[in-house]
A and B are shown apart, each in its own frame.
Chain A
C-alpha cells in the first residue's frame, strides 16, 4: 500500500508540474525534481547505512524468521566477525576447504594482511587452489614433503617449551615415570635455555643420552654464568645413578627418537630456521602449514600450536597495536589436544583469531564436551555446511536458536452465521537438521555475533553461498621446492648432536682437548722452572 500511495503522489506531482509549465510558467518543471528525488528515496526506503567492511559473499537470505525470509543482496562476513574467528563444520565434500581458501583470498587481496593456514588434510588440490586464486603463502612448512621451510620446535619462551614437550613427549600412563620425566625436562631445559646458545630437540636428546654431553653442558653453563640454582638442579638430575636415570627417561628418549632422526628431523631441528613463527606474526607473513595427519604430524602440530600460544601471550603482554593475524585450522579435528582450549582463547584475545573447520562435533568432543562449548562461546561466527550425520546436524541446527511461529486460523460457522479466529504461537528451531542435510556444496547457514559500539550486540543469521574463487590456474602449480637455509653445522648452536653422536669426531675432539691440556701443563712447567731459576 505504501508503494501505491507514493506512486500516486509521484504521478500527481508530475502531472501538476507539466500542466503548470505548459499553461503558466516553464520554471514549474523544476519544481518536480525535488519532490521526485524525495519520493524516490522513500520508495527505495534506504536510510544510508554505514558501509560494512568485510568479506562479501553475495546474495543470501536473512533467516531471523525462516517463515518470512528476507532476500539480502549483499551478505557480508564482517571483519569484526572474522577477527574473532569462526567455526565451520561440514561433511566431506561440503566445501569447507573452498571456504577456507576463499577467506584466505579475502585476507590476502582485500585486507592485504598475513595469515596462517594449517591444512590437516594435506591435499595438493588445496595448495593449488590457494596459489591459483592469489592466496599465495610467504612460508610453506610441511611435515611430509622433503622441500619446505625449516623450524625449531623448541624455540620460544622456556615455560611454553616445557609445556609443549611435556604434552608431546610424555605419553606414559605410569604416574612414577610421568613425574620422573617431567622432572627431567624441568631440570635440563632451564639449563639449556639459560646458557643462551641456540639448541634443538636433538641437543636435548644428546644431553639425556650421553653422560659426557651432560657434563659438557654443565661446564658450559658454569662458563656462561648460568644461575647456580639452575646448574644445581640439573646437576642433581645428572648425579642420579646412571642405570636408574636411564630407566626414568627411557620412554622420553624413545619418543624423542621420532623427532631427532629421519628426513624431517633436519627441518624441525634448525638452529637458524627459515620459518620463525614469531617473526611471521610480527611481519604479518602468510604461512601455510601442510600437515597431513599422522601421529608424527600431530606431534609437530602440537609443538607449533604451543609456540603460537606463546607468541599470543607475548602479544597480550607487550604489544598494544596488534595487527590481526588470523589462523585457519582446516580439518584439524584429529589435531586437537588437551591444552588447545586456553590457547585458542589467548590467541583470539591477542588478535590472532583461530578459526576451525572440521567434519563432526565428535572430533571436538574427543577432547572434552566442554571444549566444544569453549569453541562456540569464543568464536564470532558459525558456518554450517552440509552435514550428513543426524547427531551433528541436530547440534549444528540448535546453535541457530528458535523463533516464534504464529499460526492463525479463521473459520466461519454457517449454522449460526458467526466467525471464529484462532492463533497459536509455538517455538520452532530456526534451522532443522534436515535443512542442513539438504545444503548444496558451498552453501552454508551462517550465524554471526558482533559487539559493536556502546556494547550493542548484533546476532545475524543468513543462508548464503560462498563465492567460488578463481581456480582456473590451479593445475599449473605443484608443491613448492624451498631452499633449505643454513645447515646446522654452519650455525651457532650447542652442536651436541654433531659432536657427541659421531664417535670418530668425538674421539678427535677428545684428543685435541688432551693435547691442548698437555701443552698447557708443559707451559706451566716451563714457567715453574723459570720461577725456580729466578
Chain B
C-alpha cells in the first residue's frame, strides 16, 4: 500500500524547486553565463509584461539595481506562486496514483481472501 510517506520527497521537490532555481548563483561556464541570474531575469521580464506599465517599469528598475539576494527577494512572490501551482499538480497526480495503486492492491487482497475462503 502506498501512502504519502512514499512520495513526500516528490512534494518537497515540487515546493522547493522554484526557490532553488531562483536562488542559484550566477556564473560563467565556458564563456556562457549560467545559473540563477538568467532564470531570475527571464521571470522578471515575464512578470513586468503582465503588470501595468508604470508598476512594471518600477519593478524592472528595482531589479536592475539589486544584488543577487535582493533579486531573489523580488522574485519571492512569483516563486511562491509557481511553487503552489507545482504543489497542487503534484498533489493531484500523486493522490490519483496512490488511490489507484491502493485500490488495485485492495482488490488483489480481497480476491485472495475470497479465494482462500473457497470462492472462485
Contacts and interface: CB of A to CB of B under 8 A. Distances in A.
A24 B81 contact: no
A5 interface: yes
Given A423-B109, A425-B113, A16 B77 contact: yes
A4 B88 CA distance: 10
A18 B8 CA distance: 30
A1 B84 contact: no
Contacts of B15: 8
Nearest to B85: A12
Interface string B58-84: 110000000000000000010011011
Contacts of A4: 11
B4 A24 contact: no
Contact of A9 (B4, B11, B52, B84): B84
A8 B1 contact: no
A11 B77 CA distance: 10
A24 B55 contact: yes
A416 interface: no
Interface in B36-60: 51-52, 55, 58-59
A19 interface: yes
B24 to A, nearest CB: 22
A170 B35 CA distance: 104
Nearest to B113: A425
Nearest to B98: A1
A16 B8 CA distance: 26
B75 to A, nearest CB: 12
Contacts of B11: 1, 4
Interface in A1-38: 1-2, 4-5, 8-9, 11-12, 15-16, 19, 23-24
B118 to A, nearest CB: 16
A408 B1 contact: yes
Contact of A8 (B4, B8, B87): B87
- Which label, helix, strand, loop or mixed, suits the secondary structure of the A interface? helix
Nearest to B92: A5
Contacts of B88: 5, 9
B113 to A, nearest CB: 6
A2 B81 CA distance: 18
Contact of A425 (B83, B87, B91, B109): B109
B77 A24 contact: no
A12 B81 contact: yes
A465 B1 CA distance: 36
Contact of B55 (A2, A16, A23, A425): A23
Max chain A Cβ within 10 angstroms of own Cβ: one of B15, B83, B84, B88: B84
B51 A24 contact: yes
Contacts of A408: 1
B4 A1 contact: yes
Contacts of B55: 23-24
Contact of A19 (B8, B77, B84, B91): B77
Interface in B74-120: 77, 80-81, 83-84, 87-88, 91, 109, 113
Interface of A: 1-2, 4-5, 8-9, 11-12, 15-16, 19, 23-24, 408, 423, 425
22 contacts: A1-B11, A4-B11, A5-B87, A5-B88, A8-B84, A8-B87, A11-B80, A12-B80, A12-B81, A12-B84, A15-B77, A15-B80, A16-B77, A19-B77, A23-B55, A23-B58, A23-B59, A24-B52, A408-B1, A423-B109, A425-B109, A425-B113
